Structure 1
Amino acid sequence: MAHSEKSRAKAEQAKGKIKETTGRAVGNEQMTVEGRAEKAKGDARQAKEKVKDVFKD
């Protein structure tokens, strides 16, 4: 299950980065903000998984 969550975090980070970059390229501030939020959500999920790994053993 942890591997699935880590993959999900990476996917969210990538999706957010793409959305943020696209928003900047086309001048769409709403899309840029949404991309940043998705990336932050992925970062938070990844941090949670790292903490779980530390306390796993």
Structure 2
Amino acid sequence: MITRNGYAAIIPAFIFCFFACYNAPKLDKYLHMKYGEGYDRYARKTKMLIPFVF
């Protein structure tokens, strides 16, 4: 936004998509394997990435 260049928005969007679609599900799977039912209870009560949204 500071540079007034449309391409500058691509990098944060790519990083968000990478984290939301690849890294976060992989981390959820790992935490489920490590903590089991305790993590499942926590995951049901909280959002994965953005509070109250996603």
Structures share fold, TM-score greater than 0.5 = no
Q: Which interval holds the TM-score relative to the shorter structure?
A: 0.3 to 0.5
The structure showing larger relative contact order (alpha-carbon pairs under 8 Å, at least 6 residues apart) is 1
Please report the TM-score for the alignment, with normalisation by the length of structure 1. 0.42
**Greater fraction of residues in helix:** 1
Tell which structure's C-alpha radius of gyration is larger: 2
Please report the TM-score for the alignment, with normalisation by the length of structure 2. 0.43
